[in-house]
Each structure stands twice: as structure tokens, then as C-alpha cells.
Amino acid sequence: MTDTLVRPVTAQPRFEAARAASRVLATATSAQKDAALHAIADAVAGSADRVLPANELDLAAARTSGLSAGLQDRLILTADRLAALADAVREIARLTDPVGQVLRGSTLPNGLHLTQQRVPFGVVGAIYEARPNVTVDITALALKSGNAVVLRGGSAAEQTNRALIQVITDAIRSTGLPADAVQTVDDFGRDGARQLMQARGLVDVLVPRGSAGLIETVVRESTVPVIETGAGVVHVFLDAAADTTMAVDIVLNAKTQRVSVCNALETLLIHRGAADRLLPPVLAALVEAGVTIHGDATVCAAFPAAVPATEQDWAAEYYSLDLAVAVVDDLDAALTHIDRWSTHHTESIVTNDLTAAERFLAEVDSAVVMVNASTRFTDGGEFGFGAEVGISTQKLHARGPMGLAELTSTKWLVRGSGQVRH
Amino acid sequence: MTDTLVRPVTAQPRFEAARAASRVLATATSAQKDAALHAIADAVAGSADRVLPANELDLAAARTSGLSAGLQDRLILTADRLAALADAVREIARLTDPVGQVLRGSTLPNGLHLTQQRVPFGVVGAIYEARPNVTVDITALALKSGNAVVLRGGSAAEQTNRALIQVITDAIRSTGLPADAVQTVDDFGRDGARQLMQARGLVDVLVPRGSAGLIETVVRESTVPVIETGAGVVHVFLDAAADTTMAVDIVLNAKTQRVSVCNALETLLIHRGAADRLLPPVLAALVEAGVTIHGDATVCAAFPAAVPATEQDWAAEYYSLDLAVAVVDDLDAALTHIDRWSTHHTESIVTNDLTAAERFLAEVDSAVVMVNASTRFTDGGEFGFGAEVGISTQKLHARGPMGLAELTSTKWLVRGSGQVRH
């Protein structure tokens, strides 16, 4: 008899194990779940010996395969980064447990008592790329909201994620909750993602986190319901009645405070009636901050250093110190431009005109619509949610920054005394 | 030059027209929308001359093609049925408009005012089969909640639906709202459904209504987010501490009050400790009502008229006077059976044992979980929603009976005074 290593062909048993664990988690108390989170935090903080050598293997492979410097940076773990991850888990433990919250209720004329209550989804799937911090983060968010989780973290971080998941499941087991609550399909390679996307009935919701291409693939191929997160072609509109200083401050902050995030500004629109007043100080501040201006004809005429913008610029999510700038005839033209090019993430108007502000709030169809504020505020932490699962750009279930409540479903409880229907 | 009838190859212009109309509807007042609904109700009530001849054509085709008697019955319209449809539209007009309702809000430490507000989805797609009443019903629900709608009503009702949609759009136009708010893809045949399922970005959500097969197809093929409705393998569990009279009343009502609906009882589970007491009166009442019992070994031994149940019976949504019946060892065995076979629509326990009742409520993972009540109460009308879009059996966005609020999304409004992020 030979002892061969057989690679499993189906992840079905893992999905079923996650589902069985989810039934235990669904009725676990907040105290039990928080104990597990603190055990995970302590274990992650002390996991350098187990995790960093695995991370070294991934980094060596990344250098060989020529992974971009940006992705390599996201992949690196250090003792400090592990400590920060542990702190983030402790923060999540401190949040209010959404499970059991009563949302609506009534007593019907026939005496039936109805209560709509938050319950965990059951099993949450996560598909992401080369970011081991997401492994810890999404696991903690899922457990806190009573869900089991199935992770697909991408081949570039496979060794790191395997080590982290081992650390996490050991910690969960030590507290008496089921270690099966955290599963991975990373060892199935690309087929793991495929199986996860087809696990309808065993996995209740899928949250893809990563590039637009990754999210598009998941939306197209998944039969499990998906919460789409991410892409942000974010606009600021400087209205005719915009205060000059406020316009400069908000545009500069929205574009340059952090460029590689989805709530950063990508296209600036300026009312023609205020262009002469606003363009010079706004563009000067941007250029001083190192921003390259991609302008329409009016902008290029007024500001020769601008690069002429093409259609691609209006659709671009630069993630860099680049900004598309257009002068528009009026608020209606701004709304039309936004409707055409926005990814419906966040848009902001700068104005002191109440009518313009209210029209902008009412007519822009985005997850977050702002007046006189930097688009960088679209963030679960800034909104006071304490944690962020991602920013939903779809309209079903969750829209905008998602906190723990967005990782729950609801169920109706009906308490009667023998009622039948006539 | 020849004058040929060119069948359009793409429904894209209709999706775009619906989206343009949805922008107008999103900011329409409740009064404007209600005026359109009343115009639709009056027009439908007076549409016998236009609609019934078209309905006759569909019925003639249905008789030729051998459509089942049940489906033919659903297809028939009469002047009385048109009047009833008009009344249903007037009922929807009377409901509270969900658009603009504020769900959450806060003022952040930096002075930003956040408000989360209900907004329409935008464009709702509906895919259904041979039921012209759905054409009127879903259109009224969509318009009331500020949405445009794209309908795909199936070939068996194509003539009827075309006539109804003409009546509806004429009525909308007469009130000044955009008639483009109601679109059909019926004239594209099967390809219409395919195009609708792929209209991601133009259609915000798809609601399939019909057979399990139809819903399965939509879930598999749609890139537009879907709200799954329908299938109900509904259980009642008679606990050891069930009152005999209540058990008989609830089982009889849940099974026989109306058999062809998703909240009707399909599988009855009985605690072994109460089987001797409960089986005889419950089965006698069922048989007297014409119900065929499909029993497990214990049931067949106690009640020889029962048909031996197979695995198919535990999975069956009979939609008929048939009932699967099993004796289980205890509450745990009942929970295990339900977890294995339920479609997570509605389950009810009959008991006077508080611990059993609370465990059942907590551990059964269904949209609606009941104690001492007939499963027939899972219904938007019974729940006091005033209208029902369907009963969601998925966990994302909506679960259980869906009212107008479930046809809305949300958006965050952020009002600032120049805040930037540090």
C-alpha cells in the first residue's frame, strides 16, 4: 500500500462544516463571541514565530514572479503589523453585537405578536487578493456578527493565510466555539474561488474585496448573492456659489489626503459662472501638491500645463496624483456628467446656494451624496460604525459604508395562541 | 424600397428609457405618484374593450397548445377581474410612500450631519409567467415606491400583457409622469428575459415570480441582483406539550385552507412522546378534509391508509391535498429534519413548553418562525404591509413577506460646512 497525498477535489465538506459551525455561532452569546475574538487577538499578536516564516515564503515567491511593489507592500507582515491586526480585532470585540436587535414589531388584530429580529447570515464568503490583513479582519467581523466564514485569499498570500488561519482556528477552539467556523479554499487554487461562487445554499453571501476585475468576475460567475464593493469614480462639483477657500480645501483634501483609496476624488467639475474665480486658486493648490491636471478644452485654455483629457479620463479611477477637470455650464450639466460617468460611490457639491445643494442631494444617485464636505469621509470608521466591511456600491441590502449590521439578515418571529387563518 | 417590419434586436433603448424615467420618478411627490395610480386604476377598470379581445387570443392559443387548466385559469381576464385589479391598485395608492423615510442619522464630532434615507431602486425588473394580474400589480408597487419597471410576462400572456401595458402607459402619460416608466421585453421572446437578466447597470434588481424552475434559471443566469421568492417546503412540528385541539386546528388550517400557495403546510412532524395522543385526531381531521397522508414507518403502522413516504416526499412542495408526516424522537430530531429539508420559508411549532418554543424560534433558520400559529399567516397582507411584492426566501436585502419598503434602497446624505479629513 502506498501513502499518497491526495488533493481534495471538492470543497463541499468545508462548506458543510462551516454551515454546521454557523448553527452554533447563531445562538452563541455576545460574551462567547467576544472571548473568541480576544483569544484570536492574543494569538495573532503572539504569532510571529508561526506566521512570519510563512510570509517570507510568499514574499520570496512574489519577488520571483515580479508582483508589483504595491502588492508586495500589502503582503508584508511584521511583528508590528501583527500587533496592529490584533488591536483591530480587539476593537471589533468592543462593538455592539447586532444579533438579536429588534427592528420592527407589532401585534396584529388577531393577537399574533410579530417581531423582526437581526440574525446572522450564516456563512459569509470572502474573495480577496494578496492582503493577509483581510484574513484577520473579515474573520473577526464575521464571528462578531455570528457568522462562519469561508476565505479565498489568493495564491500570492497562500502560505501566510494558511499560517494565520491555523493560528485563528486554534484560538477559537481554545474558547469552546467551533474551529470549523473559519474555512479556506486557498489550497484549491482558482477552482476554490469557482466552488465558493457556486456554493449557493451553503454560503449565504459573498463579499469580494479587491480590483474592479476581481469584483466583475465574482458578480458574473457567482450564484451566491454578492455584495459589490469598491470602485469609486468620485466627483466634486464646485457650484457658482462655492466659497473659494472651502473649494480649495475640499478639493485638495479629497484628491491628495490619500490617493489610493476608493473615496478619493477623481473628477472635478466647475460651474462656468465661477470658473474664472475658482480655477486659478484650485489648480494652483493641486499642482503645488503634485497633482497632474487632465483638463477639458476650457481648462486647458486657462491652464496650459494641463494635459488634454480624453473620454478615458472621465471614466478613470486613477488611484494616483491625477485629476480630471471639466468646466460645465450649470448644475444640470454637472448632474448629467455625474450620471454618465459616476460609479455611484460618493459625490460632493461645494456651494452656498440652498436650492442647488438640495437638488444635488436629491438628484445624484450615489451611495453617499455630500454638501460642503470632503469625499474622504465616506468610510465606516468616520461614519461611527467602528469597523468597515467595505463600501457597497450596489443598491441591494447595503449601500455605502458597511458595518456589522450589514453582515446580518433578519427573521420574523410570530408568537400566537392557536390562531388560524379564515 | 420595401417596407419591412424589423424586429428590434436589442432591448437596450428600452432599459435606457426606463432609467431616464426612473430619474423623474425618484423625485416625484407622493401626490403625483398616487394620481398616476388612480389614473391607472380607472383605465384598467374601463379597459374591457381593449384588453378582453387580446386575452381571448391568448386563451385560444393556450387551448391549442394544451396549457394546463390551472395556468389557463390564471390567464383568464373578465370585466370583474379587471375591476378587482383596479381596486388593488387603489389600495396600493392608499399606502404610505416609503421614499424619503429617514432610517438613521447622527451628527459626527466634526459637525457633519449624516442622514440615511430611503430612495427608490431606480429600475425594477420582473420576470413571471402567464399571470396578467402581476403586470398590473407589480407596476403599481414599483411606481408607488418611485421605481420604473421592465416586465417580462411570458409568451402565454403576451397579447393580454401588451394591451394592459398600453392601457397603463396611456394612463401614466395623462397625468404628466413619464410613460417610459413601464417597459416590456415580451416581444423579444426568450431573448427578452436573457437581455433583462444581463442589464446590469441599467436594471437595479430583478424579482422573479413563478415556478421553482423559473426562479432557479434567473438566479443562475442573472448578473442583475435578484430577490429570490417563493418555494415553500413548510413544516409544522407538534411538540410533546402540544394542545390536542390547537394541533388539529393549526394543522388542518395550514394544510387545507388553501393548498396552492407557498405558505401551505407540506410536512408535519410529531414528537414521539405525543404520537399516540395526537396522530389519531390530527390524521382523522386531515383525511376527512380529503388529504392523502404520506407517512413514515411509524405513521403507516399506526394508520394503514397512509402511503409510505419516500425521500421525495420530504422534499415535496405538493401544492395539493397531500401531506408528508413523520414521527420524530424529540425537538432535536425535528430541528435536524427541518434543517435538512426546509426551504427556509416558514415553520411553526405547536407547544405549551416555553423552553421548546424559544429553542424553536432561535434555532430554526427560516424567514418566518412561529409558535402556535398557522403557517398561512406568512403573507404581506396578514403582516399589515398592505401589499405584497412576494415572499423572499433569501437572506440578502429582504427576508419573508416584502412590502413597498423592500422595493427601496437607501442613500446617505452628508451635510457639512467645509469639513476635510485629517
Instruction: Give the whole-angstrom CA distance, residue B213 versus residue A153.
Output: 34
Q: How far is B108 from chain A (nearest CA, A)?
A: 7
Give the per-residue pLDDT at A1.
39
Residue owning grid cell 455561532: A25
Give the per-residue pLDDT at A37.
98
Cell reading at A5: 497525498
Instruction: Tell me what the pLDDT averaged over chain B comes to.
Output: 94
Residues of chain B neighbouring A415 (CB-CB closer than 8 A): 357, 361, 370-373
Give the per-residue pLDDT at A2.
42
Same topology for domains A12-228+402-413 and A234-377, yes or no? no
Does domain A234-377 fall into CATH 3.40.309.10? Answer: yes
Instruction: Give the whole-angstrom CA distance, residue A366 versus residue A262.
Output: 14
Residues of chain B neighbouring A416 (CB-CB closer than 8 A): 370-373, 377
* Beta-carbon separation of A257 and B227 below 8 A: no
* Beta-carbon separation of A411 and B369 below 8 A: yes
Closest among A303, A356, A297 to A326, alpha carbons compared: A297
Give the per-residue pLDDT at B229.
84
Smallest Cβ distance to A363: which of B27, B116, B367? B27
Smallest Cβ distance to B362: which of A27, A348, A369? A27
- Residue B210 predicted with pLDDT over 90: no
Q: What is the CA radius of gyration of chain A?
A: 24
* Beta-carbon separation of A395 and B363 below 8 A: no
- Residue B57 predicted with pLDDT over 80: yes
Average pLDDT, integer, range B132-145? 95
Mutate to test the interface with A, among B365, B368, B399 (most CBs of A within 10 A): B365
Give the per-residue pLDDT at B396.
93
Better-scored residue on pLDDT, B71 or A256: A256
Instruction: Give the whole-angstrom CA distance, residue A39 versus residue A34.
Output: 9
Residues of chain A neighbouring B223 (CB-CB closer than 8 A): 219-220
pLDDT along chain A (422 residues), means of 10: 59 96 96 98 98 97 90 92 96 96 96 97 93 93 98 94 98 98 93 94 91 86 88 95 98 95 95 97 97 98 95 94 98 97 96 98 97 96 85 94 94 98 94
Write out the H or E segment, with its range, that includes residue B417. strand B408-419
Residues of chain A neighbouring B257 (CB-CB closer than 8 A): 420-421
Contact present, B366 and B399 (Cβ < 8 Å): no
Give the per-residue pLDDT at B74.
87
- Residue B373 predicted with pLDDT over 70: yes
Contact present, B268 and B299 (Cβ < 8 Å): no
Give the per-residue pLDDT at B3.
44
- The percent of residues in chain B predicted with pLDDT above 90, rounded, is 86
At B323, is the pLDDT very low, low, confident or very high (cuts 50, 70, 90)?
very high
- Residue B384 predicted with pLDDT over 90: no
Contact present, A159 and A53 (Cβ < 8 Å): no
Give the per-residue pLDDT at A94.
95
Contact present, A336 and A357 (Cβ < 8 Å): no
Instruction: Give the whole-angstrom CA distance, residue A306 versus residue B86.
Output: 60
- Residue B1 predicted with pLDDT over 60: no
**Domain at A12-228+402-413, CATH homologous superfamily:** Aldehyde Dehydrogenase; Chain A, domain 1 (3.40.605.10)
Hey, what CATH class is B12-230+402-413 in? alpha beta
Contacts of B357 (CB under 8 A, 6+ apart): A415, B349, B351, B371, B372
* Beta-carbon separation of B395 and A415 below 8 A: no
Listed in sequence order, the DSSP H helices in A76-181 are 79-94, 132-144, 158-174
Cell reading at B306: 397512509
- Residue B236 predicted with pLDDT over 70: yes
Give the per-residue pLDDT at B266.
97
Give the per-residue pLDDT at A3.
44
Give the per-residue pLDDT at B7.
60
Average pLDDT, integer, range B102-126? 97
Instruction: Give the whole-angstrom CA distance, residue A146 versus residue A125.
Output: 14
Q: How far is B334 from chain A (nearest CA, A)?
A: 15
Closest alpha carbon within chain A to B100: A362
Give the per-residue pLDDT at A5.
52
Contact present, B95 and B30 (Cβ < 8 Å): no
* Beta-carbon separation of B372 and A417 below 8 A: yes
Q: How far is B414 from chain A (nearest CA, A)?
A: 5
Contact present, B163 and B51 (Cβ < 8 Å): yes
Q: How far is B253 from chain A (nearest CA, A)?
A: 6
Mutate to test the interface with B, among A412, A415, A417, A422 (most CBs of B within 10 A): A412
Helix (H, G, I), strand (E, B) or coil at B202: coil
Residues of chain B neighbouring A238 (CB-CB closer than 8 A): none
pTM of the model: 0.91
Cell reading at A58: 510568499
* Beta-carbon separation of B412 and A374 below 8 A: no
Residues of chain A neighbouring B377 (CB-CB closer than 8 A): 112, 414, 416, 419, 421
Give the per-residue pLDDT at A189.
84
Residue ranges of domains in chain A: 12-228+402-413, 234-377
Q: How many residues does chain A have?
A: 422
- Residue B2 predicted with pLDDT over 80: no
Residues of chain B neighbouring A250 (CB-CB closer than 8 A): 418, 420
Instruction: Give the whole-angstrom CA distance, residue A367 versus residue A394.
Output: 8
* Beta-carbon separation of B27 and A373 below 8 A: no
Measured CA angle at A373 (ends A368, A375), to 5 deg: 50
Average pLDDT, integer, range B152-171? 96
